[in-house]
Copies of this chain bind each other. A is one copy, B any other.
């Protein structure tokens, strides 16, 4: 049985719920953590979100997103850096366990993957001190290679680890491991060992479907797809990861979307019994 005390849920799993309903629903099921979106802050203001989260007793396990550093020109890159600085301040105010960073894809008309990866490293060098003094950890999320062109030029654990190593083990930069993105990786166990539990800032759970046909609707409830979650958990234990397991699951479209209560019940059961 998975430890329910480590269960968190990402807000995008319940896009139809406003912040209060989301926090209320999670608390009712003894979920202890929530992954928040910066949209929440934009809508309600930072002070108000902080008050509501504190009232709920939930930990903010992640704030999504900073990053998207791979802009084609310097002015735009500076904008993204400034935006990431604001995201760091928001994460600090919310006492979030980490700020999730998405690298950004290939700049328009570019085919230079390595150059884009260097842009990410350069941008991190600019924001890392700000994160350190704010007490915020930056969690780099390697995406599925499917999204390398559009969303993230970082697509493997080794990609992220190389960047982490540049900044050293004491820098507030680490890994966000999302099973949906990385379940196929042959070096998963070895890389988790190199990171060590302390540099694994977040683990997100979603299952991968067998027989992929539609790229949009697909983050499954653990147990519905092909991922071996118990083995992954054992590996994370072996490297002494002691952080949360944040479920981020596609809510489904139209008639396929069930009510939030039913969905959360399924999630919690799947987490307890099959993940």
Q: List residues of chain A with CB under 8 Å of any chain B CB.
A: 106, 111-113, 117, 144-150, 155-156, 158-159, 162, 183-187, 208-215, 226-228
Q: Nearest chain B CB to A157's CB is how many angstroms away?
A: 10
Contact of A106 among B150, B185, B212, B226 (CB under 8 A): B226
Q: Do A186 and B226 touch across chains, with their CB atoms under 8 A apart?
A: no
- The answer, among B158, B210, B215, for a CB contact under 8 Å with A215, is B215
A-B contact pairs, 8 of them (CB 8 A): A113-B228, A145-B184, A146-B146, A149-B210, A149-B226, A150-B211, A155-B184, A214-B215
Beyond A106-B210, A149-B212, whether A158 also contacts B187 by CB under 8 A is yes
Docked Cα-Cα span, A112 to B227, in Å, equals 8
Residue among B111, B147, B158, B210 making CB contact with A150, cutoff 8 Å: B210
Most buried by B among A144, A186, A187, A214: A186
Contact yes or no, B208 A149, CB < 8 A? yes
Closest to A110 in B: B226
Q: A27 → chain B, closest Cβ, in Å?
A: 32
| Cβ–Cβ < 8 Å partners of A214 in chain B | 215
Q: Which single residue of chain B is at the shortest CB-CB distance from A145?
A: B184
Cβ A148 vs Cβ B215 within 8 A? no
The 7 A-B residue pairs with the shortest CB-CB distance in the complex, in nearest-first order: A111-B228, A148-B184, A145-B184, A149-B226, A149-B210, A159-B186, A155-B184
Instruction: Known A-B contacts: A111-B227, A156-B185. Give 11 more (CB < 8 A).
Output: A113-B184, A145-B145, A146-B212, A148-B184, A150-B210, A150-B212, A155-B184, A156-B186, A158-B186, A158-B187, A212-B215
A184 and B145 CA atoms in complex are apart in Å by 6
Contacts of A213 in B (CB 8 A): 215
Bound complex: CA A147 to CA B144 (Å) = 12
